[in-house]
């Protein structure tokens, strides 16, 4: 296993080798087996490449084709066999490299051709990842699949900022919501969300002022602690803390780059004492703007700098480079 540099350590971890033969029979599948002609929806974790699971790494190393998302870390692409085909299928607001139907068709076609296909998704495939839709398409097409859950940004990014999403004294339940409500989709039930002890908002940087405004309008105290964590679990992690009433303005003042996770609730305050991730830069409530620790605000990082379709075959070197542009400082 050669995923290096996780959690800012620069170390190399040892993980069991891939292409394992069937060894242990579990319910529903044979543990350790990696089948040709099947699709594996693998959670890549939120950024730090060491947060992929052992099973995820196992199937990645046995893959013939990797169809990967914008937030998958480049170090993980290097774990696929040299000859594996790497296909970029990233999406960013307003620009989809491949439409969802094209991605579904691609997965089905490659699997029917006999390939072991890994669909590598940021975080967990079933948390705002359209993994459910891809499974439906695969099931309809009769293509076997396996879901390898991942470490979701909704929990891991707060954790890397020292914020537990539940705490017996500060928050007994949490909800994960998207701050991005587009198209014809109905918006969330704001009055229900305003009553949740802890809210974790994904995809919400642009809409943060509106999200905060709505929560306050539906009864949440504007003094509720809040934090926004940018580029979580990476060497460029930044956490801005404040209150529901101040957090949007504070995030904008330091030009916080996406992706971000926003945490609203008393637990958000705990990061100030439970911070443990050394590379993190923190902009606490009360500081006028960018902390002296890191000087003037940087221009927003370009996480989605490359948008070219990568349907090229056998180009193992270039695909990680495209992804590296998205994660500017490797962990
Ligand atoms: C399309 S959703 C996918 C979530 C993913 N399936 C998961 O379980 O983490 C992408 C959102 O996850 C959050 N996110 C993912 N990685 C992140 C990171 N390293 N730091 C902060 N937020 C992150 C951001 O809110 C981003 O807009």
**Domains in the chain and their CATH numbers?**
6-151+303-326 (3.40.1010.10), 154-283 (3.30.950.10)
* pLDDT value of residue 97: 81
Q: Which of 115, 105, 107, 53 is nearest to 84 (CA)?
A: 115
Q: How far is the CA of 123 from the centre of ligand 1 (A)?
A: 6
Whether the pLDDT of residue 16 is over 60: the answer is no
pLDDT tens digits, one per residue of 285-327: 776 555 433 333 344 333 332 322 232 333 344 444 544 545 5
Whether the pLDDT of residue 23 is over 60: the answer is no
Q: How far is the CA of 21 from the centre of ligand 1 (A)?
A: 33
* pLDDT value of residue 10: 40
Contacts 24+ apart (CB under 8 A), 139-142: 141/108, 141/112
* pLDDT value of residue 187: 78
Residue percentage of the chain with pLDDT more than 90: 68
Q: How far is the CA of 186 from the centre of ligand 1 (A)?
A: 21
Under a CB-based contact definition with an 8 Å cutoff, are residues 16 and 62 in contact?
no
The pTM for the full model equals 0.83
Top mutation candidate among 123, 148, 150 for ligand 1, by most atoms within 8 Å of CB:
123
86-94 average pLDDT score = 83
Check whether the bond before 76 is cis (ω within 30° of 0). no
The C-alpha atoms of residue 309 and residue 327 are separated, in whole angstroms, by 18
Residues in the ligand 1 pocket, defined by CB under 6 Å = 46-47, 71, 121-124, 127-129, 152-154, 157, 202-203, 229, 231-233, 259-261
Catalytic status, residue 69:
yes
User: 24: part of which helix (H) or strand (E)?
Assistant: strand 24-25
Closest ligand 1 atom to Cα of 154: 9
pLDDT tens digits, one per residue of 162-217: 999 999 999 999 999 998 766 556 778 999 999 999 999 999 999 999 999 999 99
């Amino acid at each position: 296993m050669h995923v290096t540099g996780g959690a800012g350590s620069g170390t190399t971890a040892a993980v069991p080798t891939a292409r394992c033969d069937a060894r242990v029979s579990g319910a529903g599948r044979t543990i350790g087996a990696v089948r040709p002609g099947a699709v594996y929806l693998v959670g890549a974790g939120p950024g730090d490449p060491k947060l992929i699971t052992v099973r995820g790494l196992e199937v990645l190393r046995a893959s013939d084709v990797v169809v990967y998302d914008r937030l998958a870390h480049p170090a993980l692409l290097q774990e696929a066999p040299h000859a594996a085909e790497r296909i970029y299928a990233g999406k960013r607001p307003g620009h989809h490299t491949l439409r969802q139907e094209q991605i579904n068709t691609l997965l089905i076609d490659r699997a029917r051709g006999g390939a072991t296909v890994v669909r590598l998704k940021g975080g967990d495939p079933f948390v705002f990842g359209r993994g459910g839709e891809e499974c439906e398409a695969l099931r309809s097409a009769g293509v076997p699949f396996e879901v390898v859950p991942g470490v979701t940004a909704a929990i891991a990014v707060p954790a890397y900022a020292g914020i537990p999403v539940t705490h017996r004294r500060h928050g007994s339940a949490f909800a994960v919501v998207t701050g991005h409500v587009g198209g014809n989709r109905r918006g969330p039930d704001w009055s229900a969300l305003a009553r949740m002890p802890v809210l974790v908002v994904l995809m919400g940087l642009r809409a943060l002022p509106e999200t905060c405004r709505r929560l306050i309008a539906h009864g949440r105290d504007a003094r509720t602690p809040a934090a926004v964590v940018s580029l979580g679990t990476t060497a460029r992690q930044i956490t801005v803390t404040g209150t529901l009433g101040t957090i949007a303005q504070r995030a904008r003042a330091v030009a916080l780059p996406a992706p971000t996770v926003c945490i609203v609730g008393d637990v958000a305050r705990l990061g100030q004492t439970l911070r443990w991730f050394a590379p993190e830069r923190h902009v606490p409530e009360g500081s006028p703007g960018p902390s002296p620790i890191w000087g003037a605000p940087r221009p927003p990082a370009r996480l989605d700098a490359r948008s070219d379709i990568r349907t090229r075959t056998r180009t193992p070197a270039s695909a990680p480079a495209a992804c590296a542009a998205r994660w500017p400082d490797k962990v």
